Amino acid sequence: MIKFMAARMLAMGITSIFMAIVIGIILYLPRPLPGVTEDFSKPEQELEGLVAKKYWVGVLKEELNYVQGLPQGEALQYYPNRSLLRELKYEQGKLHGVIKEYYEKEGFRPMSMKYRLSGLLAPSMRVRGDIKALWHYEQGKKHGPYQSFYKGGGLKEEGDYLEGKKHGVFKKYAEIGTLKSEKFYLNGKKVKQGDLEPNLI
């Protein structure tokens, strides 16, 4: 009898824990937003307005605006814990402008979507970790200065792109700030320093 009651109490305890987990998931999973498309059964070219993409567990992965079936303007990508992964900009469906990538903000708790209004998350509400990388894009191609950073802010690597290809000097740094290496590129091909134009060194 005692063994039966102990087994029954254990089963009830496990059931209670399972229910608590389910309720927690329901409370903290993102809610559909008014005026936001979450149905991707239709082709991308038919999408219009703010579109929300999610991870398989339902947590928000990306928010972006569509105009006549093409991404347009600012877009946001998130880690599963809802801290910001990237801030992107599109022009007529192609990446264009400064792209920022962040390290994951550790310990950040996913925010309930029931307190959200329609539209991209406001800059003041975005939870960011340390900056990880900065790119410049023109019409879908990397073009211009590039920098990556160690967690904490120290410069890790820098260089330039020309129409999607490495062009000029790419420098890598140790966390203490000393130069680790230099590599030289001409239209994406690795070359010797003497092969570069003086203004690229």
Question: What digits encode the pLDDT tens for the residues 100-115?
Answer: 999 998 876 555 444 3
SS3 of 42, please? coil
Residues of the domain holding 192 = 2-200
- Number of folded domains that form the chain: 1
Task: Please report the sign of the dihedral spanned by the C-alpha atoms of residue 136, residue 142, residue 143, residue 146.
Answer: positive
Closest by CA to 50, choosing from 38, 42, 58, is 38
Q: Tokens 């999610």 correspond to what residue?
A: 54
Closest by CA to 63, choosing from 41, 32, 94, is 32
Closest by CA to 90, choosing from 68, 114, 115, is 68
The verdict on pTM exceeding 0.75 is no
- CB count within 10 Å of CB 10 equals 10
pLDDT tens readout for residues 47-77: 888 888 888 767 788 888 999 889 999 999 9
pLDDT tens readout for residues 91-144: 999 999 999 999 998 876 555 444 344 566 667 677 888 999 999 999 999 999
